[in-house]
Amino acid sequence: MLGELLAALAWLTQFSDPLAWLVIVTFSVGAVIELRDRDLARPVSVGAWVLFAAFWLSLVYHFAFVAKSIIEGVGSAAAVPLSLYVAYLLWNGRDSLFVLTRAVALMGVVFMPFEAIIPLQKVLIELVARQTELLMQLLGVDPTVVSGAEYGHHDFRSTFYFTAENDPNHALTYTILIACTGIGSMAIFVGLIGAVRAPLRNKLRALAVSLPVIYGLNLIRNIFIGLGFGLQKFHIAPDLVMSVFSLSDPYRVSYIIADRLISQSLAVVALVFITWFVVRELPDVLVIIEDLLFLVTGDEYDLRKAFNMDAPMRADGDGRVE
């Protein structure tokens, strides 16, 4: 039974890319229609959330068993019922979720061009790789950076090449991919900030305290993973890690610990703190956060009161504060 379930999840991965485009188009159409006719936008937006659930389901196997990421695997699995729950609540009149719907549409519009347009992707990836290289050099390490084509990636100058200290013939390569540029996290905050209806100056301040911080922290993350793996700084409990993550190469232990365990865990913490700073500049974002908390806990929250802000906040479905 378990084997059949895993086989079905593996089969679904082939639909993740077309589903991503279909999701973004549907969310965007729903967001545009909602500007004029909320009743007409409701079924379109509900359909977008159902498709979003299917999209996350198509990624579960990849994250959990191919990428071997516990956090992303659990997150994608949890996103399936949560997306369906949003669809149910939106259909039944929780209009504040139109704000979250707009946020997801904006996230996709920002992220997908970098995912799909190769020249745009090349510029961003090579820029991040070059900056990562320069920062490594400041730390006293002069890595060899080569094209990723030899290692199954695009022909970008984005692969850091190391050799194992005790085995010079064993190559250790760390390639900067689009997921390593921080564009995904930046797209999230652009979506959150852009979805609410607030003064432009407030939105610009919120972007100023989020996007540069995300970009800078992402460079630190790349250095940490690249050097941690390339110099084998985290070869800890190799037998246990290899068993848990089904690894065959003991040199991969340092990568798994540096990236999948330490970096991804710290990234969650960093996003929470960045969200706090964004909220201080743009309290309107609390409408979205309150809805997310309701989805997870089933309880209503008054975060404006928790943040010690004046006057209670109530979403009227447009992301406005009354």
pLDDT tens, position by position, 40-73: 999 999 999 999 999 999 999 999 999 888 889 9
Predicted local confidence at residue 312, as pLDDT: 44
pLDDT surpassing 80 at residue 320: no
Q: In angstroms, rounded to a whole number, what is the distance separating the alpha carbons of residues 175 and 154?
A: 10
Q: In angstroms, rounded to a whole number, what is the distance separating the alpha carbons of residues 218 and 176?
A: 11
Q: Which of 120-134, 164-178, 190-204, 284-298 has the lowest mean pLDDT?
A: 164-178
Predicted local confidence at residue 321, as pLDDT: 34
- In this prediction, residues 100-104 reach a mean pLDDT of 97
Predicted local confidence at residue 316, as pLDDT: 46
Q: How confident is the model at residue 1 (pLDDT cuts 50, 70, 90)?
A: confident
Helices (H), 139-237: 183-195, 200-208, 211-230
Predicted local confidence at residue 285, as pLDDT: 95
Does the pTM of the predicted model rise above 0.85?
A: yes
Q: Which residues pair with 161 in a beta bridge?
A: 144, 173
Q: What is the pLDDT of residues 232-249, one digit of tens each?
A: 999 999 999 999 998 999
% of the chain residues with pLDDT over 90:
82
Q: In angstroms, rounded to a whole number, what is the distance separating the alpha carbons of residues 207 and 257?
A: 31
- Token look-up 């999701």 returns 23
Tell me, letter by letter, the H, E, C secondary structure of 289-320.
HHHHHHHHHCCCCCHHHHCCCCCCCCECCCCC
Q: Is the dihedral of CA 30, 53, 100, 318 positive or negative?
A: positive
Q: How confident is the model at residue 165 (pLDDT cuts 50, 70, 90)?
A: confident
Kindly report the backbone phi and psi dihedral angles of residue 161, in degrees, each rounded to the nearest multiple of 5, phi listed first. -110, 120
252 is catalytic: no
Predicted local confidence at residue 322, as pLDDT: 29
Better-predicted residue by pLDDT, 37 or 314: 37
- The residues near 119 (Cβ < 8 Å, ≥ 6 apart) are none
Q: How confident is the model at residue 150 (pLDDT cuts 50, 70, 90)?
A: confident
Angle at 106 between CA 119 and CA 290, to 5 degrees: 140
Average pLDDT, the chain: 92
pLDDT surpassing 70 at residue 208: yes
- In this prediction, residues 137-157 reach a mean pLDDT of 92
Predicted local confidence at residue 310, as pLDDT: 59
pLDDT surpassing 50 at residue 199: yes
Catalytic: which of 42, 221, 252, 304? 221
% of the chain residues with pLDDT over 70:
95
Better-predicted residue by pLDDT, 303 or 31: 31
Q: What is the pLDDT of residues 251-268, one digit of tens each?
A: 999 999 999 999 999 999
Catalytic: which of 42, 180, 252, 304? 180
pLDDT surpassing 80 at residue 77: yes
**Measured torsion, CA atoms of residues 268, 302, 318, 196, in degrees rounded to the nearest 10:** -40
205 is catalytic: no
Q: How confident is the model at residue 313 (pLDDT cuts 50, 70, 90)?
A: very low
211-230 and 118-138 are packed helices; what angle lies between their axes, rounded to 10 degrees?
A: 70
- In this prediction, residues 172-188 reach a mean pLDDT of 95
Label residues 119-139 b or e (16+ Cβ within 10 Å = b). eebeebbbebbebbbeebeee
